[in-house]
Amino acid sequence: MCVLGEARFLNRTFVMDLSVCLSSTYTQTHKDEEGKDFRLYFDFEHLKETSSNVEEGEFLRDWKKWNRSHNTKIPVRK
């Protein structure tokens, strides 16, 4: 979670995709498994309460609303 520490240091909000790749070290098949839900492995709600972070989908919805309300279009890159 180095990126969360970096976001806190820079006083920024950490936007995260909740779909993670589980390393082969931690799977029974010994193969990387894509698309695992981050919330199964970490307490995302607790992270939201203790630091400034937001789920990617929620961020994009809010960003689109902001663009519409300000009659502008500022692109977001992943």
Concatenated DSSP letters of 11-38: T-PEEE-SEEEEPGGGSTTSS-EEEEEG
Does pLDDT of 21 surpass 80? yes
pTM for this predicted structure: 0.52
Q: What is the pLDDT of residue 31?
A: 93
Task: Give 25-37 pLDDT, tens digit per residue.
Answer: 988 999 998 988 8
Check residues 78 and 75 and name the one with the higher pLDDT: 75
How far is 9 from 59, CA to CA, in rounded Å? 20
Cα–Cα–Cα angle for 34, 48, 33, nearest 5°? 10
Q: In b/e form, how buried is each residue of 13-34, taking b as 16+ CB within 10 angstroms?
A: ebbbeeebeeeeeeeeeeeeee
56: pLDDT strictly greater than 90: no
Across the range 59-70, mean pLDDT stands at: 89
8 A C-beta contact, residue 54 and residue 44:
no
